[in-house]
């Protein structure tokens, strides 16, 4: 069985839907089930996302590497690998490829810390970033 996640918030209707699904699973489940309740972790805000791309844009414009201006997307991949990490994926043809771990794995607090690390890195490379919106 695949994992089921319900975001309940303070909605009685969402809770009733979750209980209905849970009760149907209990009737036909061959495996033991585990019910976990935890505070919801919110992904980054629209404001954080806007600031993130503004930071990358400034770095892109102000820090050519050996005369080459890299796009914001290239800097995003660089910083994800540097500060979040990378994982390996095996393709259907058996080839192994590495890719940056997505920033979507970060909650609001972790994403703010990630952006701070980028700002510190930029300062260490002579770029003092302006306050962005």
pLDDT, tens digit (0-9, with 9 covering 90-100), for 71-93? 999 999 999 999 999 999 999 99
Mean pLDDT across the chain: 87
Number of compact structural domains in the chain: 2
pLDDT tier for residue 39 given thresholds of 50, 70 and 90: confident
What 3-state DSSP class applies to 85? coil
Residues 67 and 105 grouped into a single domain: yes
Nearest CA-CA partner of 55 in 107, 122, 126: 122
> How far apart, in whole angstroms, are the C-alpha atoms of residue 72 and residue 112?
18
Q: Quick one: 57 and 30 in the same domain?
A: no
Q: CB-based contacts of 50: which residues, under 8 Å, 6+ apart?
A: 132, 133
What the block records as the tokens of 102 is: 């997505």
Same domain assignment for residues 27 and 61: no
Q: Do residues 59 and 115 share a domain? A: yes
Rounded mean pLDDT, 94-115 = 94
Per the document, the length of the chain is 133
Domain extent for 118: 46-124
């Amino acid at each position: 069985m695949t994992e089921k996640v319900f975001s309940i918030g303070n909605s009685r209707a969402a809770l009733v839907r979750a209980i209905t699904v849970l009760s149907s699973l209990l009737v036909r489940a061959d495996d033991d089930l585990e019910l976990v309740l935890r505070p919801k972790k919110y992904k980054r805000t629209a404001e954080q996302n806007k600031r993130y791309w503004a930071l990358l844009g400034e770095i892109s414009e102000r820090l050519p590497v050996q005369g080459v201006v890299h796009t914001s997307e290239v800097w995003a991949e660089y910083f994800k690998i540097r500060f979040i990490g990378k994982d390996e994926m095996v393709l259907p043809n058996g080839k192994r490829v590495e890719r940056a771990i997505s920033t979507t794995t970060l909650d609001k607090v972790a994403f703010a810390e990630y952006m701070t690390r980028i700002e510190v890195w930029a300062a260490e490379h002579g770029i003092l970033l302006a306050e962005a919106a």
